Chains A and B, each alone.
Chain A
Amino acid sequence: MKLEIQSLTKLYKGHAALDHLSLASEVKVLALIGPSGSGKSTLLRILGGLESADAGTVTINAEALPVSASALLAYRRQNGFLFQAFNLFPHLTALQNLQLPLEKVHGFSAQDAKATAEKALARFGLLSHAHKTPAQLSGGQQQRVGIARAVAIKPRILFLDEPTSALDPEMTAEVLELVHELANEGQQIVLSTHEMGFAKAVADNIAFLANGRIEECSHPKDFFTAPQSGIAQRFLSKVMKY
């Protein structure tokens, strides 16, 4: 995808979460990294169509991000979005969690929705959990079902907002493996993460955010071996220390 962002600004109660952020990148998988509060989530939420910016423009493959509520809804329906946690609807089973949006949002018949949902669960080895509710699944399984739901609709772009931040290390690995697999299959992904090793392995481009701006955007190898900006150098030396 060809991503172009110009002077994007988002204010929360007077505080600029994004401050004239600009970025131009042509990637399959883009990883956003940076300290907490740097604006990663806000940027992802805008790119995912969950929120509107206060100023600036975003174009993806030369198409401007929609502004009106109904166009944003249509845009969200083409893409997938996964949050840190609590993605699933707790009153539904894993299978129903996949099935319901397919049926009600994407117009599948009940039968097709079930078949598609089962196929998506089977693909990630989750079929044996199809009839469990989220409370009966581990955190890692919940996130994997969440990803299965997001990709069941064959999204143009998959947005992942720190998909493993709420998980313990073992579960983190199972989720990251799944994301890696999707990336290898050619799924376009924009994700934010604190897992540096993973970002390095999966992304074609790393965008480093600080204070609501992109400090630098480069190839993972360049970024992790020789970060340009002082703030990125300090950040990396801190997170790589232990």
Chain B
Amino acid sequence: MTLKHWNILAACIVALVFSIFATVILQSLGPQWDWGKPWEYRQLLFKGWGQTIILSLGAMVGSLVVGLLLMLGQRSPLGSIRWTCRLFLEFVRDTPLLVQLLVGYFVIFAPLLSLSIGNLGWDDKLIIGVILLSLFEGAYLGEIFRGGIESIPRTQWESARAVGFNRRQIYRYVIFPQALRRVLPAVAGQFVSLIKDSSLLSVIGVQEFAYQARAYTSLTYGGLEAYVPLALGYLILTAPIAFMAHQIERRYRDEA
């Protein structure tokens, strides 16, 4: 038998196992799940999905800024700046997001900002949620960026100095464009995490997608139906980014 035949056989076995699995699950859930109910409450779920999109987009921009600052901070000639950034970054990366969100919201940001944001007529939970998520994901991006910059060989800095670029120009015209290609796949991966992590913001009361799914469940005394559209809703957001990341990665590999 050739490899091709083995592959067909393996595919058949996988399909068989999967269909048995699916049949068993659907049979056992069949009578309990009522798909009419989530449809009735679709607006609630849609609203949550919309909030998740806003939250994610805001945090993407925010985390890019935070990541960039942390990367530059870690390359600062001043030791105190370097160490502050390093410590912040390690702290954020090595403690649970859930704890950061709860402490960050109830202890730090809510007492400081809630009133003034509320006075402006904005949703304080959403704004603070974006800030907290930006700080968390930005710490990861900071490391990704640092790795990207450090992966550019020293000879590029040398050549750039030799043609007369100043420090700012070296970053702008030589280092950043090259580093960007290298980090794009990792950044896209981080954005996928960011979108999924945004579901944790329900703990501080941001009315995003996961929050509404839970709200639906308690409103209707329903089962877990709402979590299927929840998963699909996240998948619609994350799958294109993941796909794009693979494409970029492939193109970069072909170039190199």
Which of A's residues lie within 8 Å of B, judged by CB? 48, 50, 73, 76-77, 80-83, 85-91, 100-101, 104-106, 135, 149-150
For A105, what are the chain B residues with a Cβ–Cβ distance below 8 Å? Answer: 163-165, 169
By the criterion CB–CB under 8 Å, are A100 and B162 in contact?
A: no
CA distance A85 to B166 in the complex (A): 21
B88, CB-defined interface residue at 8 Å: no
For A88, what are the chain B residues with a Cβ–Cβ distance below 8 Å? Answer: 159
B217, CB-defined interface residue at 8 Å: no
For B178, what are the chain A residues with a Cβ–Cβ distance below 8 Å? Answer: 89-91
User: Which one of B131-139, B150-158, B226-234 contacts A?
Assistant: B150-158
By the criterion CB–CB under 8 Å, are A135 and B255 in contact?
A: yes
For A73, what are the chain B residues with a Cβ–Cβ distance below 8 Å? Answer: 164, 166
Chain A minimum-CB-distance residue to B165: A105
By the criterion CB–CB under 8 Å, are A83 and B159 in contact?
A: yes
CA distance A150 to B159 in the complex (A): 11
With contacts defined as CB atoms under 8 Å apart, how many contacts are there between chain A and chain B in the complex? 52
Which of B's residues lie within 8 Å of A, judged by CB? 153, 155-156, 158-166, 169, 173-174, 177-178, 181, 255-256
For B158, what are the chain A residues with a Cβ–Cβ distance below 8 Å? Answer: 50, 83
For B162, what are the chain A residues with a Cβ–Cβ distance below 8 Å? Answer: 48, 50, 76, 80-83, 87
- Assuming A89-B174, A90-B178, A91-B181, is B156 touching A101 (CB within 8 A)? no
CA distance A101 to B173 in the complex (A): 10
CA distance A91 to B152 in the complex (A): 12
By the criterion CB–CB under 8 Å, are A101 and B181 in contact?
A: no
29 A-B Cβ contacts within 8 A? A48-B162, A50-B158, A50-B161, A50-B162, A76-B162, A76-B164, A81-B162, A83-B159, A83-B162, A85-B155, A86-B153, A87-B155, A87-B159, A88-B159, A89-B156, A89-B160, A89-B174, A91-B177, A91-B181, A100-B173, A101-B164, A101-B165, A104-B165, A104-B169, A104-B173, A105-B163, A105-B169, A135-B255, A150-B163
For A90, what are the chain B residues with a Cβ–Cβ distance below 8 Å? Answer: 178
Chain B minimum-CB-distance residue to A152: B163
CA distance A135 to B254 in the complex (A): 12
Closest-CB distance, B184 to chain A (whole angstroms) = 13
For A89, what are the chain B residues with a Cβ–Cβ distance below 8 Å? Answer: 156, 159-160, 173-174, 178
For A104, what are the chain B residues with a Cβ–Cβ distance below 8 Å? Answer: 165, 169, 173
By the criterion CB–CB under 8 Å, are A76 and B169 in contact?
A: no
Closest-CB distance, B255 to chain A (whole angstroms) = 7
For B156, what are the chain A residues with a Cβ–Cβ distance below 8 Å? Answer: 86, 89
For A81, what are the chain B residues with a Cβ–Cβ distance below 8 Å? Answer: 162
CA distance A76 to B173 in the complex (A): 18
Closest-CB distance, A9 to chain B (whole angstroms) = 22
For B181, what are the chain A residues with a Cβ–Cβ distance below 8 Å? Answer: 91
Closest-CB distance, A2 to chain B (whole angstroms) = 23
CA distance A149 to B164 in the complex (A): 12
Closest-CB distance, A105 to chain B (whole angstroms) = 4
CB contact between B155 and one of A48, A50, A86 (< 8 Å): that residue:
A86
By the criterion CB–CB under 8 Å, are A149 and B255 in contact?
A: no
By the criterion CB–CB under 8 Å, are A86 and B159 in contact?
A: yes
CA distance A101 to B169 in the complex (A): 10
CA distance A83 to B156 in the complex (A): 11
CA distance A89 to B161 in the complex (A): 12
By the criterion CB–CB under 8 Å, are A77 and B164 in contact?
A: yes
Chain B minimum-CB-distance residue to A75: B164
- Assuming A89-B174, A91-B178, A135-B255, is B159 touching A101 (CB within 8 A)? no
Chain A minimum-CB-distance residue to B180: A91
CA distance A48 to B256 in the complex (A): 31
For A80, what are the chain B residues with a Cβ–Cβ distance below 8 Å? Answer: 162
Closest-CB distance, A134 to chain B (whole angstroms) = 11
CA distance A87 to B157 in the complex (A): 10
For B166, what are the chain A residues with a Cβ–Cβ distance below 8 Å? Answer: 73
CA distance A91 to B155 in the complex (A): 14
CA distance A90 to B155 in the complex (A): 11
